[in-house]
Amino acid sequence: MEESSAEVPDSSTQDDVPPLAVKDINVLLERERSEGTSSPSRDDDSTLLNPGTHSSILEDNTKSESGLPEGRSKSCGLCFSDGKCRIDYILVYRKSSSQSEKREIFERNIRAEGLQMEKEASVTNSDVIFLKLHAPWDVLCRYAELMNIRMPFRRKIFYMHRRHKFMSRMEKRINKFRGWLPRKPMKFDNDTLPDLEENESFTAPFSRSRIHHFIIHNKETFFNNATRSRIVHHILQRVKYEEGKNKMGLNRLLSNNSYEAAFPLHEGRYHSKNSIRTHGAENHRHLLYECWAWWGVWYKYQPLDLIRRYFGEKIGLYFAWLGWYTGMLFPAALVGLFVFLYGLFTLEHCQVSKEICQATDIIMCPICDQYCPYLRLSDSCIYAKVTHLFDNGATVFFAVFMAVWATVFLEFWKRRRAVLAYDWDLIDWEEEEEEIRPQFEAKYSKKERMNPISGKPEPYQAFTDKYSRLVVSTSGIFFMILVVIAAVFGIVIYRVITVSTFAAFGWALIRNNSQVATTGTAVCINFCVIMLLNVLYEKVALLLTNLEQPRTESEWDNSFTLKMFLFQFVNLNSSTFYIAFFLGRFTGRPGAYLRLINRWKLEECHPSGCLIDLCMQMGIIMVLKQTWNNFMELGYPLIQNWWTRRRLRREHGQKAKAGFPQWERDYNLQPMNAYGLFDEYLEMILQFGFTTIFVAAFPLAPLLALLNNIIEIRLDAYKFVTQWRRPLPSQAKDIGIWYGILEGIGILSVITNAFVIAVTSDFIPRLVYAYKYGPCAGQGRAGEGCMMGYVNASLSVFQVNDFEKRSQPRTTGSELIGEAVKYCRYRDYREPPDSAEPYSYTLQFWHVLAARLAFIIVFEHMVFAIKTLIAYLIPDLPKDLRDRMRREKYLIQEMMYEAELERLQKERNEKKKKKDRAHHKEWP
């Protein structure tokens, strides 16, 4: 399965290949056998087979595969030139590099560890050399034991609980009924996926002394490709390249450009001319493409065991989490859609929107200085109806539901992760003691102290130095947050200025919808600013993290992750927070407006409320950001790989790439980004925040997230399988620091949704009016009939003669009512101009304010209590998993005991036979 038939084209295909203007250097270094592993490695032509002899791969169009050298035809797959030794790892370097001495020592020490090597030059660039590495059986066994790699040693015996006869009969009837139903379309055929034996076997840490206990059908396939690559990488990280302490490791050689790239090979091509249903999969990469990365299977479950086998547990856990998050979005999206449809179906019965649409005699005050005209309240009829779609009686229920949903999602993910950790043998896995980062070592090499774990001296960072760097880094974080606030302030000034500009615009469509046009353009400009600042934040986060000098790579990753999340979260949500909680709250009143720098009047909410602005902000930002992220994730690698293929076709002919060996094709793919899965997690975590934090204002956010994630899973799968080099398989027990960030977002979402309902929406003012001031006051009920007169009660009266000179509108409003407007209305609870205290707050204002504060306190405490109760009631480990773990531990002990007894019995029988044989020879 490792070497597919698509790797070596047949002669009929080769006949059509045009000539290549490339020299077949065919640099093959003779692999050292066990008796000759001490010869040095060199980068010059003295290590080549037939050095100095160069011949083209294909001389003319009629040359067939039979004309190729035997070594090349065999090396086009996944093995050395002998066609037997599997390639476990590839190192790439340039002969023109100045680090040849370090490479020479490094490669000599690689052979001393027992790895076999073979060199071959690139068919497109003679300066590029591929170093192929193979780990023999004894090396794999030795390091598998050192690394405590768990391997299968006995087939699992599935334990079935005893059932009552009644339950057994019920199960038979249910299964019979299921047989009449169509087969589940989301599941794969069992015949399609390979038999992943380690998932159906008990496993134990590998031991050479007990090798007879393990299931070894074939030594070549006992350690799968991912495990072999991980073992070879483990060796390379501990091989020295210079004499001296800590001068070791492949990562250091990659950072100083001794090697240009290092990667395990993909298992052949990902596509085939033959159907997978009729001919089967040629390799695991082909199977992953057909069952996972192909767009035609977007509705099917992910083959997580196969993903884990090919890419490792860390990437497998990411896709498991992404799939779990996407699946949990289904109920949230359905409830959000129900809230939206409820608003749609009750639109005709909404008393508030009816009154707004019928209020042709209510004249609203201008929303900006001079250029904005007087408006009828009925002109905002459409916006009032749109607001009702999101702000209706089901909004509070949906906010509570989403807070509970976030808790259920995290709690059940812990259970799902525990099941995966059990199935993937990660329950007892512990991370190895990490190596010190080279930068930390170079900075603090003069001062050492004893490592309490390894007992070896290591560089030490003083307490004062560490915390002084943390203070500087924290100051940098706060400074960048101030930059975000400054950017938001710039957007606010833009909104204030352009609302007047659009009000005086020549185009009637813009002039009549000046506030919506201002909001729409401000959101688009805000999105552009967000994307530009994200580039700056990445560089600043990198600078601040390096300034802190973390000791290990995991500490560096956690520090960088926290900074990048904080920067991008504030950058993405700062404008949304402004619109939700500050827009229209501190504008003052007509005749006494608050101004920026005593010049610009602060922006007011739309006559139908501020929620429409918040909905526009969330909808536009969410759609644009997800579209941009998807383009950058897949479009950018596709364009780069397309350009590489175009260059190769232009230089070497249309079908040249078909004859390239696997390492050449993988080298031409894009490497996985420098931060690993960071970008993938960050995108989804920010989306989770957008889906939960302001969901009360935009119930369709979970639906948009669901649609995006269905596409995102296949985009990421396609990218990993087809566009990226194969990443190094690595292990992990969970999603790391991201889980803590998700919990923090869940807590923040409760607070923000409480404030959105209480402050941004009109839910509380309507409730107060219905129970205290409306027709049903004192009756203990609040239906649509109780909202009659609400619009008039929520608007205050202003006398136009009291306008400031710079706020005086240029029109008198005579075009609306046939005479000059004397009084206009505005959204607030203030006394009329002819009262004893004109324009002072009314009693209704204080009632609404008290009700808002009370709602925030009650809502938060109630939701937090529900979240805590749910988290307490849902155990982290499912009961059946706990029982399986206990039973497996018991069975493993029994099996190991029985196997040891069997071995001792066999030894005793052999000794007895020898003794009987010797005793028999004593007689003539």
Q: In one letter, which amino acid is 345?
A: F
Report in angstroms the alpha-carbon separations of 805 from 369, 472, 721, 838: 9, 49, 67, 19
Say which residue, 36 or 421, is predicted with more confidence. 421
Distance CA 738, CA 745 (A): 10
Looking at the DSSP bridge assignments, the partners of residue 152 are 203
Tell me the pLDDT tens digit for each residue of 14-71.
333 333 333 233 333 333 333 333 333 444 433 443 333 333 332 333 333 333 333 3
Q: In one letter, which amino acid is 254?
A: L
- 72-86, 264-278, 391-405, 761-775: the lowest-pLDDT one: 72-86
pLDDT score for 69: 36
Listing DSSP states for 546-566 in one string gives HHH--SBHHHHHHHHHHHHHH
Collapse the DSSP code of 657 into the 3-class scheme (helix H, G, I; strand E, B; otherwise coil) and give the result: helix
Tell me the pLDDT tens digit for each residue of 94-106.
988 888 888 889 9
pLDDT score for 556: 86
Share of the chain above pLDDT 70, in %: 81
pLDDT score for 197: 52
Distance CA 841, CA 849 (A): 11
Output the six-digit token pair for 747: 């807590």
Confirm if 94 and 127 have CB atoms less than 8 A apart. yes
Confirm if 384 and 357 have CB atoms less than 8 A apart. yes
Tell me the pLDDT tens digit for each residue of 642-677.
777 777 777 666 655 567 888 888 998 888 877 778
Q: Give mean pLDDT, residues 180-199.
A: 59
Looking at the DSSP bridge assignments, the partners of residue 128 are 94
Say which residue, 423 or 154, is predicted with more confidence. 423
Distance CA 578, CA 753 (A): 14
Distance CA 767, CA 393 (A): 10
**How many CB atoms neighbour CB 447 within 10 A?**
10
Confirm if 669 and 724 have CB atoms less than 8 A apart. yes
Q: Give the closest residue to 202 by CA, choosing from 398, 448, 34, 427.
A: 427
The mean predicted confidence, pLDDT, of the chain is 79
Output the six-digit token pair for 166: 């009644």
Confirm if 593 and 826 have CB atoms less than 8 A apart. no
Confirm if 398 and 343 have CB atoms less than 8 A apart. no
Tokens 């900006």 identify what position?
368
**How many CB atoms neighbour CB 775 within 10 A?**
12
- 64-68, 616-620, 827-831: the lowest-pLDDT one: 64-68
Q: In which band, very low, low, confident or very high, does the pLDDT at 743 lie, cut at 50, 70 and 90? A: very high
Tell me the pLDDT tens digit for each residue of 488-527.
888 888 887 787 777 666 666 666 667 677 777 888 888 8
Largest interatomic CA distance in the chain: 142
pLDDT score for 133: 94
Say which residue, 893 or 823, is predicted with more confidence. 823
Q: Give the closest residue to 267 by CA, choosing from 665, 806, 738.
A: 665
- 368-382, 476-490, 716-730: the lowest-pLDDT one: 368-382
Residue 634 has pLDDT above 60, yes or no: yes
* CB-based burial label for 278 (10 Å; 0-12, 13-18, 19+): exposed
pLDDT score for 180: 58
* CB-based burial label for 789 (10 Å; 0-12, 13-18, 19+): middle
Contacts of 448 (CB under 8 A, 6+ apart): 457, 458, 459, 460
Residue 886 has pLDDT above 70, yes or no: yes
Residue 130 has pLDDT above 60, yes or no: yes
pLDDT score for 175: 65
Residue 7 has pLDDT above 70, yes or no: no
Distance CA 146, CA 91 (A): 24
pTM score of the predicted model: 0.81
End-to-end CA distance of the chain: 60
Strand pairing class (823-827; 795-799): antiparallel
Output the six-digit token pair for 90: 């590839």
pLDDT score for 52: 34
Nearest-5° Cα angle at 645, 640 to 650: 125
Residue 298 has pLDDT above 70, yes or no: yes
pLDDT score for 21: 30
